[in-house]
Amino acid sequence: MTEASWETADLNRPIYAADLIISALSRTPDNPAVNIIGQREMTASEMSEMVSRYSQALASKGLTQGKQLSVLALNRPEVLFNMAANQVNATRSTPLHPMGSADDQAYVLGDCGAEALVFDPDNFTDRARELAERVPTIKHFLSLGPCDFGEDLNALAMTFEPKPLVAPLVNGEDLAGISYSGGTTGKPKGIMSSYRGGATMTQIQMSDWQWPDEVRFLICTPLSHAGAAFFTPTLLKGGSLTVLPGFDPEKFMQTVQDHRITATMLVPTMIYVLLDHPKFDQYDLSSLETIFYGASAISPTRLAEGIRRMGPIFFQFYGQAECPMTITVLRKEDHDPDNLERLASCGRPVPWLHVALLDDDGNVVPHGEPGEICVRGPLNMKGYLGKPEQTAEAFEHGWLHTGDVARADDEGFLYIVDRKKDMIITGGFNVYPREVEDVISTHPAVSAVAVIGVPDERWGESVKAVVVRRPGESVEAEELISLVKDAKGSVQAPKSVDFIDAIPLSALGKPDKKALRAQYWGDGSRQVN
């Protein structure tokens, strides 16, 4: 409890994100908190002072409790200061993806009602100018450094003297922030999160995730998305954060080696890039004790390769923006490189949530049968901004519907077979692309694979595999088709295989099956028959 809230707060007032950040920074004031590469380490006490300055600077622009702002930046330490200041001020923050289009960013700014845009002047000044013309309701453009457009938030922050940080009085169900989906089914949806949900996520991360004893965390995934989720837990563990602008395999390996990084978060495609890098064995990555990974499905074969080459350091988390980061986890001890079936699992549900596999009528499916992963619990979103019908659909039968179809084994491990919308219906039979991908990825010449349904006059859809070969390796379509036919049967086997240089990725680093399907279905919105 912070001193300013003693008199007015409820006796049983819960702890939320701002309380946790303030507590973390005050518990170990002399510990390194942020490592600014090429400059210096900033202690927790110094970071607390910076957060105070940014908090006051934002408040001076009227950005106080309940006000809405957005951030457009690559990873940089100032983003962390701004992020913490938003929690202290109880402002609602919406990140814009750095790789997003101007159309999508303008839509998000207008939809969430942003009053201010905090932007990275080194990379997004021109985009900020464009957004100023397209979204006239934005009152303030605040740059994270000198710029000839807007106002320098960094300079403004330094005009304020640091004050003790005080957590705001908020209710658990208050709107804490709005994030946006990838827009795979049209315009992005605003996902409304609560203070209750944010605190629950941190609680699960702290108690159920496997962290090194000394946390030196490297952030190379976007702070606009999953990267930010490791900010508060790292500080609560008394650890430090090293921030890279983005993922570059050599810079990543060099940073791990130079700074003896003990933990990081990667998406599967990043893991593949590291394993395939010609200089992988030239760097000392032995300090790594935990690689948190998630955001998309991983090839069990490639994961087994990673375990053999890097050790038993992998920890998988599964969630989505509507129920962030941690519906299930696959712990380090469950990563047996000789058990590819278990490596295909997304783990077991965490203890703080109710998780069930349901059919279309809201009934629990028979054991071993596929059903949609549905969730009840304090981690769930409040709903979709301004979309009551889609919110009702997401919460049908009193559960949050994830859209992911899975099976459960006798030990309670879940195995995602695919997104409901990605399922292929060929000749009346259901084919889950993930199951086909897992078979194809076992071939030693395959680096990456995506399976989609394409138009077929006879069957409605047919199964197509799009494959990236490993450098210097060779495999033909017939061999891969036979591999699947032997493992899964003729219905699951691809009718065709295309070889390409790289699987297209979405802005979040996930395989972009929408873009792949568009090459075969054209521009029509209907991509199933």
Among residues 420, 451, 484, the one where a domain terminates is 420
- Do 63 and 161 reside in the same domain of the chain? yes
Look up the pTM and report it. 0.84
Inform me whether the pLDDT recorded for 510 exceeds 80. no
Cα-only R_g, the chain: 23
- pLDDT above 90 (res 421): no
- In the chain, the percentage of residues whose pLDDT exceeds 90 is 75
Report whether pLDDT(526) > 60. no
- Contact assessment for residue 312 and residue 332, using Cβ atoms and an 8 Å cutoff: yes
Q: How many domains does the chain have?
A: 3
* More confident site: 37 or 273: 273
Could you list the residue range(s) of the whole structural domain that residue 176 is in?
39-191
Residues 178 and 285 in one domain: no
With contact defined as beta carbons under 8 Å apart, do 309 and 274 qualify? no
Domain containing 327 — which CATH number? Answer: 3.40.50.12780
Bridge partner list, 383:
192
> Does residue 101 register a pLDDT over 90?
no
Write down which residue in 420, 439, 473 finishes a domain. 420
Which CATH number is 89's domain given? 3.40.50.980
Tens of pLDDT, residue by residue over 473-508, are 999 999 999 999 988 888 889 999 999 999 988 766
**pLDDT (tens digit per residue) in 360-373:** 999 999 999 999 99
How sure is the predictor about 8, in pLDDT bands with cuts at 50, 70 and 90?
low
Could you read off the pLDDT of 238-289 as tens digits, one per residue? 999 999 988 999 999 999 999 999 999 998 889 989 999 999 999 999 999 9
Give the pLDDT confidence score for residue 523 in this predicted structure: 45
- Confidence label for 528 from pLDDT (cuts 50, 70 and 90): very low
Question: Which pLDDT belongs to residue 81?
Answer: 96
Work out the average pLDDT over 435-439.
90
Q: Is residue 231 part of a domain?
A: no
Q: Taking all residues of the chain, what is their mean pLDDT, rounded to a whole number?
A: 91
- Render pLDDT for 157-176 as a digit per residue (tens, 0 to 9): 999 999 999 999 999 999 99
31-56 burial code (b ≥16 CB/10 A, e <16): bbbbbeeeeeebbbebbbbbbbbbbb
Q: Are residues 264 and 334 in the same domain?
A: yes
Q: Can you give the CATH number for the domain in which 483 is found?
A: 3.30.300.30
Same domain, 182 and 105: yes
412 shares a domain with 466? no
**Same domain assignment for residues 398 and 438:** no
Question: How far is 311 from 491, CA to CA, in rounded Å?
Answer: 37
Say whether both 385 and 448 belong to one domain. Answer: no
Residue 299 lies in a domain: yes
State which amino acid sits at residue 520: Y
Which range of 178-187, 221-230, 402-411 scores highest in mean pLDDT? It is 402-411
Q: What is the pLDDT of residues 102-142, one digit of tens each?
A: 888 999 999 999 999 999 999 999 999 999 999 999 999 99
- 441 and 408 within one domain: no
